[in-house]
Amino acid sequence: MSKSNVIELSDPDSFTDLLTELLRTGARRLIEQAAEASKYLQEYLNEFCYRFNRRAWEAQLSSRLLNACLIHIQVKLKMV
């Protein structure tokens, strides 16, 4: 059971194969896309939360606006 059919290469970078190159370039591109996507993650989350919260507003917009106008606390400012 100690026999193995795995061939070790002396210099893995010198080995060129069409499939190996395809996998390497695909992996590099995937890593670059993941790094690029992380830049815009917060903006995406902000937009998602806004749209998710907005979905329930439209049906109740007039009643919410009326409640906000009637139930607000009046603030008095001192003139200096």
Supply the Cα-derived Rg of the chain in whole angstroms.
Answer: 30
Question: What does the alpha-carbon distance between residue 68 and residue 56 come to, in Å, rounded to a whole number?
Answer: 16
What's the whole-model pTM score?
0.37
pLDDT tens-digit readout, 32-75: 888 888 778 888 888 888 887 776 666 677 787 788 788 877 77
pLDDT tens-digit readout, 3-16: 888 877 777 667 67
DSSP 8-state assignment for residue 30: H
Q: What angle do CA 28, 21, 39 make, to 5 degrees?
A: 10
Say which residue, 73 or 30, is predicted with more confidence: 30
